[in-house]
Structure 1
Amino acid sequence: MIPISELLLEYICPIAGGMTATVMFAAPLPDAYRAVRDQGHLGSLNPLPWAFMLGNCYGWVLYGVIQRNFFVYCANVPGLLFAIWLNLQAVKLQYKSYPCQKYSPISHAENEKSSPQIEDGEAMASVETKREASPAPLRMTQDIWILFMVLVWLLLTSVLGFQEETISPDTQQLLIGSIVNLNLVIFYAAPLSTIYTVLHTQSSASIHVPTMLTNTANGVFWFAYGLAVQDWFIAIPNGLGAALGATQMVLRVLFPAQKVQANEEVSGVADANVQNQDDHL
Protein backbone atom coordinates (compact mmCIF):
# COMPACT_ATOMS: atom_id res chain seq x y z
CA MET A 1 0.00 0.00 0.00
CA ILE A 2 1.29 3.45 -0.91
CA PRO A 3 2.06 5.62 2.15
CA ILE A 4 -0.24 8.62 2.63
CA SER A 5 2.64 11.11 2.35
CA GLU A 6 3.84 9.60 -0.93
CA LEU A 7 0.30 9.49 -2.30
CA LEU A 8 -0.24 13.13 -1.38
CA LEU A 9 3.07 14.54 -2.61
CA GLU A 10 3.75 12.40 -5.67
CA TYR A 11 0.21 11.95 -7.01
CA ILE A 12 -2.36 14.31 -5.51
CA CYS A 13 -0.13 17.42 -5.70
CA PRO A 14 0.79 17.09 -9.40
CA ILE A 15 -2.81 16.29 -10.34
CA ALA A 16 -4.04 19.36 -8.45
CA GLY A 17 -1.18 21.37 -9.94
CA GLY A 18 -2.19 20.33 -13.44
CA MET A 19 -5.77 21.43 -12.81
CA THR A 20 -4.76 24.84 -11.43
CA ALA A 21 -2.25 25.28 -14.28
CA THR A 22 -5.01 24.69 -16.82
CA VAL A 23 -7.18 27.32 -15.13
CA MET A 24 -4.23 29.71 -15.03
CA PHE A 25 -3.41 29.24 -18.73
CA ALA A 26 -7.09 29.61 -19.67
CA ALA A 27 -7.49 32.93 -17.84
CA PRO A 28 -6.82 35.16 -20.92
CA LEU A 29 -9.20 33.23 -23.20
CA PRO A 30 -12.42 35.18 -22.38
CA ASP A 31 -10.74 38.57 -22.84
CA ALA A 32 -9.15 37.49 -26.13
CA TYR A 33 -12.45 36.08 -27.36
CA ARG A 34 -14.28 39.32 -26.54
CA ALA A 35 -11.57 41.31 -28.33
CA VAL A 36 -12.08 39.22 -31.48
CA ARG A 37 -15.87 39.07 -31.34
CA ASP A 38 -16.81 42.56 -30.12
CA GLN A 39 -13.89 44.96 -30.42
CA GLY A 40 -11.81 43.99 -33.42
CA HIS A 41 -8.61 45.15 -31.71
CA LEU A 42 -6.45 44.20 -28.74
CA GLY A 43 -7.19 47.33 -26.73
CA SER A 44 -5.37 47.16 -23.41
CA LEU A 45 -4.49 43.47 -23.78
CA ASN A 46 -0.76 42.79 -23.81
CA PRO A 47 -0.15 39.76 -26.08
CA LEU A 48 3.61 39.53 -25.49
CA PRO A 49 3.30 37.11 -22.53
CA TRP A 50 1.31 34.80 -24.78
CA ALA A 51 4.39 34.22 -26.92
CA PHE A 52 6.36 33.29 -23.82
CA MET A 53 3.46 31.09 -22.70
CA LEU A 54 3.89 29.22 -25.97
CA GLY A 55 7.59 28.66 -25.32
CA ASN A 56 7.02 27.87 -21.66
CA CYS A 57 4.38 25.20 -22.27
CA TYR A 58 6.26 23.66 -25.19
CA GLY A 59 9.40 23.52 -23.04
CA TRP A 60 7.62 21.78 -20.18
CA VAL A 61 5.96 19.34 -22.60
CA LEU A 62 9.40 18.50 -23.99
CA TYR A 63 10.77 18.26 -20.43
CA GLY A 64 7.97 15.84 -19.53
CA VAL A 65 8.80 13.67 -22.55
CA ILE A 66 12.54 13.62 -21.82
CA GLN A 67 11.99 12.86 -18.12
CA ARG A 68 9.12 10.44 -18.82
CA ASN A 69 7.04 12.56 -16.42
CA PHE A 70 3.39 12.10 -17.31
CA PHE A 71 2.18 14.73 -14.81
CA VAL A 72 4.36 17.53 -16.20
CA TYR A 73 3.45 16.57 -19.76
CA CYS A 74 -0.32 16.52 -19.22
CA ALA A 75 -0.29 19.72 -17.15
CA ASN A 76 1.18 21.74 -20.01
CA VAL A 77 -0.51 20.28 -23.10
CA PRO A 78 -3.71 22.34 -22.54
CA GLY A 79 -1.62 25.46 -22.00
CA LEU A 80 0.24 24.82 -25.26
CA LEU A 81 -3.05 24.59 -27.16
CA PHE A 82 -4.38 27.73 -25.44
CA ALA A 83 -1.16 29.60 -26.26
CA ILE A 84 -1.39 28.67 -29.95
CA TRP A 85 -4.96 29.98 -30.13
CA LEU A 86 -4.16 33.17 -28.22
CA ASN A 87 -1.17 33.98 -30.43
CA LEU A 88 -3.21 33.40 -33.59
CA GLN A 89 -5.81 35.88 -32.35
CA ALA A 90 -3.13 38.41 -31.40
CA VAL A 91 -1.55 38.30 -34.87
CA LYS A 92 -4.95 38.59 -36.52
CA LEU A 93 -5.99 41.58 -34.41
CA GLN A 94 -2.68 43.40 -34.78
CA TYR A 95 -2.72 43.25 -38.56
CA LYS A 96 -6.44 43.96 -38.71
CA SER A 97 -6.24 47.15 -36.65
CA TYR A 98 -3.04 48.54 -38.19
CA PRO A 99 -4.49 49.46 -41.65
CA CYS A 100 -7.12 51.55 -39.86
CA GLN A 101 -4.32 53.82 -38.65
CA LYS A 102 -3.15 54.49 -42.22
CA TYR A 103 -6.32 56.20 -43.33
CA SER A 104 -8.36 58.93 -41.72
CA PRO A 105 -11.86 59.91 -42.93
CA ILE A 106 -12.41 63.44 -44.23
CA SER A 107 -15.65 65.34 -44.03
CA HIS A 108 -17.91 66.32 -46.92
CA ALA A 109 -16.89 69.97 -46.57
CA GLU A 110 -13.18 69.14 -46.83
CA ASN A 111 -13.87 66.91 -49.81
CA GLU A 112 -15.78 69.66 -51.66
CA LYS A 113 -12.93 72.11 -51.12
CA SER A 114 -10.19 69.74 -52.24
CA SER A 115 -11.91 68.14 -55.28
CA PRO A 116 -13.87 69.45 -58.30
CA GLN A 117 -17.64 69.12 -58.51
CA ILE A 118 -18.76 65.64 -59.60
CA GLU A 119 -21.49 65.20 -62.21
CA ASP A 120 -24.77 63.54 -61.29
CA GLY A 121 -24.14 60.52 -63.52
CA GLU A 122 -20.93 59.58 -61.74
CA ALA A 123 -20.68 57.54 -58.57
CA MET A 124 -21.06 59.49 -55.37
CA ALA A 125 -17.34 59.76 -54.70
CA SER A 126 -17.95 62.64 -52.32
CA VAL A 127 -19.41 60.34 -49.70
CA GLU A 128 -16.75 60.44 -47.01
CA THR A 129 -13.66 59.42 -48.93
CA LYS A 130 -10.47 58.51 -47.20
CA ARG A 131 -7.04 60.01 -47.49
CA GLU A 132 -3.76 58.39 -46.65
CA ALA A 133 -2.11 59.55 -43.45
CA SER A 134 1.30 58.84 -41.97
CA PRO A 135 0.74 55.90 -39.60
CA ALA A 136 2.66 55.35 -36.42
CA PRO A 137 5.43 52.80 -36.90
CA LEU A 138 4.18 49.26 -36.35
CA ARG A 139 5.81 47.92 -33.22
CA MET A 140 7.46 44.54 -33.09
CA THR A 141 4.56 42.31 -33.95
CA GLN A 142 3.40 39.13 -32.32
CA ASP A 143 4.41 36.94 -35.24
CA ILE A 144 8.06 37.97 -34.77
CA TRP A 145 7.96 36.92 -31.11
CA ILE A 146 6.26 33.65 -32.03
CA LEU A 147 8.91 32.86 -34.64
CA PHE A 148 11.62 33.68 -32.11
CA MET A 149 10.19 31.30 -29.50
CA VAL A 150 9.64 28.54 -32.06
CA LEU A 151 13.19 28.97 -33.40
CA VAL A 152 14.71 28.67 -29.92
CA TRP A 153 12.88 25.46 -29.12
CA LEU A 154 13.31 24.06 -32.64
CA LEU A 155 17.08 24.46 -32.35
CA LEU A 156 17.12 22.85 -28.91
CA THR A 157 14.88 19.97 -30.02
CA SER A 158 17.08 19.41 -33.09
CA VAL A 159 20.25 19.33 -31.00
CA LEU A 160 18.74 16.85 -28.56
CA GLY A 161 17.35 14.70 -31.37
CA PHE A 162 20.40 14.49 -33.60
CA GLN A 163 22.92 14.34 -30.76
CA GLU A 164 20.94 11.96 -28.57
CA GLU A 165 23.76 9.42 -28.41
CA THR A 166 26.39 11.96 -27.33
CA ILE A 167 24.28 14.01 -24.88
CA SER A 168 23.63 12.35 -21.53
CA PRO A 169 20.17 12.42 -19.92
CA ASP A 170 21.50 14.73 -17.20
CA THR A 171 22.71 17.20 -19.83
CA GLN A 172 19.38 17.03 -21.62
CA GLN A 173 17.60 17.79 -18.36
CA LEU A 174 19.97 20.69 -17.69
CA LEU A 175 19.50 22.26 -21.13
CA ILE A 176 15.71 22.02 -21.21
CA GLY A 177 15.26 22.90 -17.55
CA SER A 178 17.48 26.00 -17.82
CA ILE A 179 15.73 27.43 -20.88
CA VAL A 180 12.22 26.69 -19.68
CA ASN A 181 12.98 28.34 -16.35
CA LEU A 182 14.26 31.38 -18.23
CA ASN A 183 10.78 31.56 -19.75
CA LEU A 184 9.30 31.53 -16.27
CA VAL A 185 11.29 34.62 -15.34
CA ILE A 186 9.16 36.55 -17.85
CA PHE A 187 5.98 35.31 -16.21
CA TYR A 188 7.19 36.20 -12.74
CA ALA A 189 7.97 39.76 -13.87
CA ALA A 190 4.23 40.50 -13.85
CA PRO A 191 3.70 39.72 -10.13
CA LEU A 192 6.85 41.68 -9.30
CA SER A 193 5.54 44.77 -11.07
CA THR A 194 2.14 44.29 -9.41
CA ILE A 195 3.82 44.24 -6.00
CA TYR A 196 5.62 47.47 -6.90
CA THR A 197 2.30 49.05 -7.95
CA VAL A 198 0.67 48.11 -4.63
CA LEU A 199 3.54 49.52 -2.59
CA HIS A 200 3.60 52.69 -4.70
CA THR A 201 -0.15 53.39 -4.60
CA GLN A 202 -0.79 51.94 -1.11
CA SER A 203 -3.74 50.11 -2.66
CA SER A 204 -4.16 46.48 -3.69
CA ALA A 205 -6.68 47.29 -6.43
CA SER A 206 -4.23 46.01 -9.05
CA ILE A 207 -4.20 42.49 -7.53
CA HIS A 208 -6.65 40.18 -9.26
CA VAL A 209 -7.72 37.87 -6.44
CA PRO A 210 -8.80 34.77 -8.46
CA THR A 211 -5.59 34.87 -10.49
CA MET A 212 -3.52 35.39 -7.36
CA LEU A 213 -5.10 32.40 -5.63
CA THR A 214 -4.77 30.17 -8.71
CA ASN A 215 -1.14 31.09 -9.31
CA THR A 216 -0.25 30.60 -5.65
CA ALA A 217 -1.98 27.22 -5.44
CA ASN A 218 -0.29 26.11 -8.66
CA GLY A 219 3.11 27.11 -7.28
CA VAL A 220 2.52 25.32 -3.96
CA PHE A 221 1.40 22.06 -5.57
CA TRP A 222 4.30 21.87 -8.02
CA PHE A 223 6.81 23.01 -5.41
CA ALA A 224 5.73 20.17 -3.11
CA TYR A 225 5.86 17.71 -5.99
CA GLY A 226 9.31 18.93 -7.06
CA LEU A 227 10.63 18.41 -3.54
CA ALA A 228 9.07 14.96 -3.34
CA VAL A 229 10.70 13.72 -6.55
CA GLN A 230 13.85 15.85 -5.95
CA ASP A 231 13.52 17.67 -9.27
CA TRP A 232 14.89 21.18 -8.61
CA PHE A 233 13.93 22.46 -12.04
CA ILE A 234 10.32 22.00 -10.93
CA ALA A 235 10.72 22.89 -7.27
CA ILE A 236 12.74 26.13 -7.42
CA PRO A 237 10.73 28.20 -9.95
CA ASN A 238 7.40 27.07 -8.56
CA GLY A 239 8.58 27.77 -5.02
CA LEU A 240 9.41 31.29 -6.19
CA GLY A 241 5.95 31.61 -7.73
CA ALA A 242 4.31 30.43 -4.51
CA ALA A 243 6.37 32.96 -2.50
CA LEU A 244 5.33 35.81 -4.81
CA GLY A 245 1.71 34.73 -4.51
CA ALA A 246 1.95 34.64 -0.72
CA THR A 247 3.49 38.12 -0.80
CA GLN A 248 0.53 39.40 -2.79
CA MET A 249 -1.85 37.86 -0.25
CA VAL A 250 -0.11 39.72 2.57
CA LEU A 251 -0.24 42.97 0.58
CA ARG A 252 -3.93 42.41 -0.10
CA VAL A 253 -4.53 42.33 3.66
CA LEU A 254 -2.21 45.24 4.52
CA PHE A 255 -3.38 47.54 1.71
CA PRO A 256 -7.11 47.11 1.04
CA ALA A 257 -8.32 48.04 -2.42
CA GLN A 258 -9.37 51.68 -2.59
CA LYS A 259 -11.82 53.36 -4.90
CA VAL A 260 -10.64 56.06 -7.25
CA GLN A 261 -11.32 59.45 -5.70
CA ALA A 262 -9.39 61.89 -7.84
CA ASN A 263 -8.95 62.36 -11.57
CA GLU A 264 -5.22 62.01 -11.30
CA GLU A 265 -5.67 58.52 -9.87
CA VAL A 266 -7.56 57.29 -12.92
CA SER A 267 -4.43 56.82 -15.00
CA GLY A 268 -2.87 54.80 -12.21
CA VAL A 269 -5.83 52.45 -12.05
CA ALA A 270 -5.77 52.11 -15.84
CA ASP A 271 -2.14 51.07 -15.70
CA ALA A 272 -3.03 48.61 -12.97
CA ASN A 273 -5.72 47.09 -15.19
CA VAL A 274 -3.21 46.62 -18.00
CA GLN A 275 -0.84 44.95 -15.56
CA ASN A 276 -3.71 42.76 -14.40
CA GLN A 277 -3.96 41.41 -17.96
CA ASP A 278 -0.30 40.39 -17.66
CA ASP A 279 -1.08 38.61 -14.38
CA HIS A 280 -3.65 36.51 -16.25
CA LEU A 281 -0.82 35.08 -18.28
Structure 2
Amino acid sequence: MALITAAHLAFTFGILGNVVSFMVYMAPVPTFYKIYKRKSSEGFHSIPYSVALFSAMLYLYYAYLKKNVILLITINSFGCVMEVGFLIIFLVYATYESKIYTAKILFLFNIVAMGLVVGCTYSLSKGQKRVTIVGWICSVFSLCVFVAPLSIMRRVIKTKSVEYMPLTLSLFLTLSAAIWFFYGLFIKDFYIAAPNVVGFLFGMVQIILYLIYKDKKQQNILP
Protein backbone atom coordinates (compact mmCIF):
# COMPACT_ATOMS: atom_id res chain seq x y z
CA MET A 1 0.00 0.00 0.00
CA ALA A 2 1.40 3.38 -1.01
CA LEU A 3 2.32 5.71 1.79
CA ILE A 4 0.62 9.09 2.02
CA THR A 5 3.42 11.64 2.02
CA ALA A 6 3.47 15.37 2.79
CA ALA A 7 3.68 15.97 -0.97
CA HIS A 8 0.46 13.99 -1.53
CA LEU A 9 -1.30 15.90 1.23
CA ALA A 10 -0.02 19.22 -0.10
CA PHE A 11 -1.34 18.40 -3.59
CA THR A 12 -4.71 17.34 -2.16
CA PHE A 13 -5.10 20.51 -0.11
CA GLY A 14 -3.87 22.55 -3.07
CA ILE A 15 -6.63 21.12 -5.27
CA LEU A 16 -9.20 21.67 -2.51
CA GLY A 17 -7.85 25.18 -2.05
CA ASN A 18 -8.35 25.90 -5.75
CA VAL A 19 -11.92 24.58 -5.65
CA VAL A 20 -12.90 26.54 -2.53
CA SER A 21 -11.06 29.68 -3.63
CA PHE A 22 -12.91 29.44 -6.94
CA MET A 23 -16.13 29.54 -4.93
CA VAL A 24 -14.79 32.47 -2.88
CA TYR A 25 -14.09 34.45 -6.03
CA MET A 26 -17.53 33.55 -7.39
CA ALA A 27 -19.38 34.35 -4.14
CA PRO A 28 -19.75 38.11 -4.86
CA VAL A 29 -21.50 37.40 -8.18
CA PRO A 30 -25.01 37.77 -6.66
CA THR A 31 -23.92 41.05 -5.06
CA PHE A 32 -22.72 42.48 -8.36
CA TYR A 33 -25.78 41.16 -10.14
CA LYS A 34 -27.80 43.16 -7.62
CA ILE A 35 -25.68 46.22 -8.39
CA TYR A 36 -26.27 45.67 -12.11
CA LYS A 37 -30.04 45.26 -11.66
CA ARG A 38 -30.37 48.33 -9.43
CA LYS A 39 -27.89 50.34 -11.52
CA SER A 40 -26.30 51.53 -8.27
CA SER A 41 -23.39 50.46 -6.07
CA GLU A 42 -25.43 51.61 -3.03
CA GLY A 43 -23.62 50.89 0.26
CA PHE A 44 -21.09 48.46 -1.19
CA HIS A 45 -17.36 49.25 -1.06
CA SER A 46 -14.64 48.58 -3.63
CA ILE A 47 -11.76 48.27 -1.14
CA PRO A 48 -12.04 44.47 -0.52
CA TYR A 49 -11.96 43.80 -4.28
CA SER A 50 -9.11 46.24 -4.93
CA VAL A 51 -6.98 44.72 -2.18
CA ALA A 52 -7.89 41.16 -3.28
CA LEU A 53 -6.75 41.97 -6.83
CA PHE A 54 -3.42 43.29 -5.57
CA SER A 55 -2.96 40.23 -3.35
CA ALA A 56 -3.64 37.88 -6.28
CA MET A 57 -1.11 39.77 -8.42
CA LEU A 58 1.49 39.54 -5.65
CA TYR A 59 1.02 35.78 -5.25
CA LEU A 60 1.32 35.33 -9.01
CA TYR A 61 4.67 37.10 -8.80
CA TYR A 62 5.65 34.98 -5.78
CA ALA A 63 4.68 31.77 -7.61
CA TYR A 64 6.70 32.89 -10.64
CA LEU A 65 9.79 33.39 -8.46
CA LYS A 66 9.40 30.21 -6.41
CA LYS A 67 8.42 27.94 -9.32
CA ASN A 68 6.77 24.49 -9.00
CA VAL A 69 3.65 26.00 -7.40
CA ILE A 70 1.25 25.72 -10.32
CA LEU A 71 -1.73 25.50 -7.96
CA LEU A 72 -0.98 29.06 -6.79
CA ILE A 73 -0.75 30.27 -10.39
CA THR A 74 -4.06 28.76 -11.50
CA ILE A 75 -6.24 30.16 -8.73
CA ASN A 76 -4.61 33.59 -8.56
CA SER A 77 -4.88 34.00 -12.33
CA PHE A 78 -8.59 33.27 -12.05
CA GLY A 79 -8.78 35.65 -9.07
CA CYS A 80 -7.27 38.49 -11.08
CA VAL A 81 -9.84 38.02 -13.85
CA MET A 82 -12.77 37.95 -11.42
CA GLU A 83 -11.66 40.94 -9.35
CA VAL A 84 -11.10 43.03 -12.48
CA GLY A 85 -14.61 42.12 -13.64
CA PHE A 86 -16.15 43.08 -10.29
CA LEU A 87 -14.28 46.38 -10.20
CA ILE A 88 -15.40 47.26 -13.73
CA ILE A 89 -19.04 46.69 -12.77
CA PHE A 90 -18.55 48.73 -9.59
CA LEU A 91 -16.98 51.62 -11.52
CA VAL A 92 -19.83 51.64 -14.05
CA TYR A 93 -22.54 52.05 -11.40
CA ALA A 94 -20.72 53.83 -8.55
CA THR A 95 -21.15 57.49 -7.69
CA TYR A 96 -18.65 59.96 -9.07
CA GLU A 97 -16.89 60.21 -5.70
CA SER A 98 -16.66 56.41 -5.40
CA LYS A 99 -15.29 56.14 -8.93
CA ILE A 100 -12.54 58.64 -8.21
CA TYR A 101 -11.68 56.97 -4.89
CA THR A 102 -11.57 53.49 -6.48
CA ALA A 103 -9.44 54.74 -9.37
CA LYS A 104 -6.97 56.23 -6.90
CA ILE A 105 -6.79 52.97 -4.91
CA LEU A 106 -6.23 50.93 -8.08
CA PHE A 107 -3.54 53.30 -9.31
CA LEU A 108 -1.81 53.31 -5.93
CA PHE A 109 -1.87 49.52 -5.38
CA ASN A 110 -1.90 47.87 -8.79
CA ILE A 111 0.35 50.22 -10.69
CA VAL A 112 2.57 52.16 -8.29
CA ALA A 113 2.94 49.61 -5.45
CA MET A 114 3.14 46.56 -7.74
CA GLY A 115 5.66 48.34 -9.93
CA LEU A 116 7.77 49.20 -6.88
CA VAL A 117 7.64 45.62 -5.58
CA VAL A 118 8.76 44.11 -8.88
CA GLY A 119 11.30 46.84 -9.62
CA CYS A 120 12.90 46.93 -6.17
CA THR A 121 13.05 43.16 -5.64
CA TYR A 122 14.63 42.62 -9.05
CA SER A 123 17.17 45.41 -8.68
CA LEU A 124 18.06 45.03 -4.98
CA SER A 125 17.90 41.26 -4.42
CA LYS A 126 18.25 37.92 -6.16
CA GLY A 127 17.72 34.20 -5.68
CA GLN A 128 16.26 32.98 -2.40
CA LYS A 129 16.54 36.43 -0.82
CA ARG A 130 14.18 37.81 -3.47
CA VAL A 131 11.71 34.96 -2.81
CA THR A 132 11.84 35.67 0.93
CA ILE A 133 11.22 39.39 0.51
CA VAL A 134 8.29 38.84 -1.85
CA GLY A 135 6.95 36.14 0.49
CA TRP A 136 6.85 38.60 3.38
CA ILE A 137 5.14 41.20 1.21
CA CYS A 138 2.54 38.60 0.14
CA SER A 139 1.90 37.69 3.77
CA VAL A 140 1.31 41.31 4.75
CA PHE A 141 -1.15 41.94 1.94
CA SER A 142 -2.92 38.65 2.52
CA LEU A 143 -3.60 39.99 5.99
CA CYS A 144 -4.92 43.18 4.36
CA VAL A 145 -7.37 41.08 2.33
CA PHE A 146 -8.64 39.45 5.52
CA VAL A 147 -8.76 42.77 7.41
CA ALA A 148 -10.46 44.67 4.56
CA PRO A 149 -13.99 43.46 5.55
CA LEU A 150 -13.58 45.22 8.93
CA SER A 151 -15.40 48.24 7.51
CA ILE A 152 -18.31 46.00 6.53
CA MET A 153 -18.28 44.29 9.94
CA ARG A 154 -18.41 47.73 11.56
CA ARG A 155 -21.40 48.58 9.36
CA VAL A 156 -23.15 45.35 10.39
CA ILE A 157 -22.70 46.18 14.10
CA LYS A 158 -23.76 49.79 13.57
CA THR A 159 -26.87 49.13 11.48
CA LYS A 160 -27.69 45.69 12.93
CA SER A 161 -28.14 44.50 9.34
CA VAL A 162 -26.22 41.83 7.41
CA GLU A 163 -27.40 43.04 3.99
CA TYR A 164 -23.89 44.03 2.95
CA MET A 165 -22.11 40.97 4.41
CA PRO A 166 -23.23 37.83 2.53
CA LEU A 167 -22.99 34.65 4.61
CA THR A 168 -21.85 32.59 1.61
CA LEU A 169 -18.74 34.70 1.14
CA SER A 170 -17.88 34.57 4.85
CA LEU A 171 -18.25 30.77 4.91
CA PHE A 172 -16.11 30.22 1.85
CA LEU A 173 -13.42 32.64 3.10
CA THR A 174 -13.21 30.76 6.39
CA LEU A 175 -13.01 27.37 4.71
CA SER A 176 -10.50 28.64 2.16
CA ALA A 177 -8.25 30.03 4.89
CA ALA A 178 -8.26 26.67 6.71
CA ILE A 179 -7.42 24.70 3.57
CA TRP A 180 -4.64 27.03 2.38
CA PHE A 181 -3.16 26.94 5.88
CA PHE A 182 -2.74 23.17 5.59
CA TYR A 183 -1.40 23.51 2.04
CA GLY A 184 1.25 25.94 3.26
CA LEU A 185 1.97 23.71 6.23
CA PHE A 186 2.56 20.60 4.11
CA ILE A 187 4.81 22.36 1.58
CA LYS A 188 6.55 24.09 4.51
CA ASP A 189 5.79 27.59 3.23
CA PHE A 190 5.36 30.05 6.10
CA TYR A 191 4.26 32.84 3.75
CA ILE A 192 1.20 30.86 2.70
CA ALA A 193 0.32 29.20 6.02
CA ALA A 194 0.69 32.08 8.51
CA PRO A 195 -1.71 34.69 7.03
CA ASN A 196 -4.47 32.11 6.74
CA VAL A 197 -4.53 31.63 10.52
CA VAL A 198 -5.68 35.25 10.79
CA GLY A 199 -8.01 34.74 7.84
CA PHE A 200 -9.71 31.84 9.58
CA LEU A 201 -10.21 33.88 12.76
CA PHE A 202 -11.69 36.86 10.88
CA GLY A 203 -13.95 34.51 8.94
CA MET A 204 -15.28 33.02 12.17
CA VAL A 205 -15.98 36.53 13.53
CA GLN A 206 -17.97 37.38 10.38
CA ILE A 207 -20.02 34.18 10.71
CA ILE A 208 -20.74 34.93 14.38
CA LEU A 209 -21.84 38.48 13.48
CA TYR A 210 -24.14 37.10 10.81
CA LEU A 211 -25.76 34.70 13.25
CA ILE A 212 -26.26 37.53 15.76
CA TYR A 213 -27.81 40.06 13.37
CA LYS A 214 -29.41 37.94 10.61
CA ASP A 215 -32.93 38.29 12.02
CA LYS A 216 -32.71 41.92 13.06
CA LYS A 217 -34.07 44.73 10.96
CA GLN A 218 -31.79 47.46 9.75
CA GLN A 219 -31.85 50.57 11.87
CA ASN A 220 -31.34 53.97 10.36
CA ILE A 221 -28.45 55.30 12.38
CA LEU A 222 -26.75 58.49 11.36
CA PRO A 223 -22.95 58.19 10.92
Task: Find out whether 1:183 has 2:144 as its counterpart.
Answer: no
Between the two proteins, the alignment pairs up a number of residues equal to: 220
Which protein is richer in helix relative to its size? 2
Compute the displacement of 1:174 (Å). 2.6
- Provide the secondary structure at the position in 2 that maps to 1:4: coil
SS in 1 for 2:215: coil
User: Are 2:45 and 1:46 aligned?
Assistant: yes
- Residue 259 of structure 1 corresponds to 216
Alignment TM-score, normalising by the size of structure 1: 0.66
CA contact (8 A) 1:26 1:79 kept: no
Matches for 1:76-225 after TM superposition, within 5 Å: 76-94=76-94, 97-98=95-96, 140-149=100-109, 150-161=111-122, 163=123, 167-190=125-148, 192=150, 208-225=166-183
User: Structure 1 residues 219, 146: closer, same or farther in 2, change over 3 A?
Assistant: same
Q: Aligned partners of 1:180 and 1:193: how far apart in 2?
A: 22
Shift of 1:194: 6.3
Matched residues in 2 for 1:89 and 1:205: separation?
A: 22
The question of whether the paired residues in 2 share the 8 Å contact of 1:64 and 1:70 is answered with: yes
TM superposition shift of 1:199? 7.5
- In 2 relative to 1, CA 267–8 (structure 1 residues): closer, same or farther, beyond 3 Å? farther
Distance 1:140 1:217 in 2: 34
TM-score (norm 2): 0.81
After the TM superposition, which residues 14-33 of structure 1 pair with which residues of structure 2 at under 5 Å, given as runs? 14-33=14-33
Structure 2's unaligned 5+ residue stretches are: none
Is the contact between residue 13 and residue 222 of structure 1 (CA under 8 Å) also seen in structure 2? yes
Q: Structure 2 CA distance, aligned partners of 1:138 and 1:204?
A: 22
Q: Is the 8 A contact 1:222 1:235 kept in 2?
A: yes
Provide the C-alpha distance between the structure 1 equivalents of 2:149 and 2:49, rounded to a whole number of angstroms: 16
Pair 20,155 (structure 1): closer, same or farther in 2 beyond 3 Å: same
- State the distance in 1 between where 2:116 and 2:193 align: 26
CA distance in 1, matches of 2:29, 2:87: 11
How far apart in 1 are the matches of 2:209 and 2:40? 33
Fraction of identical pairs, as percent: 19
Q: Is the 8 A contact 2:51 2:148 kept in 1?
A: no
The structure with the largest alpha-carbon Rg is 1
1:151-207 CA distances to partner (integer Å, 9 max, x unpaired)?
21122223344x3xx623332123222222232233222455666677789x79576
Higher mean C-alpha displacement, 229-238 vs 168-177: 168-177
CA RMSD across the alignment? 3.2
Change (3 A) 1:224 1:167: same
Q: CA deviation at 1:7?
A: 5.4
Report how far residue 14 of structure 1 moved. 0.9
Query: What is the one-letter code of the residue matched to 1:12?
Result: T
Is 2:3 aligned against 1:3? yes
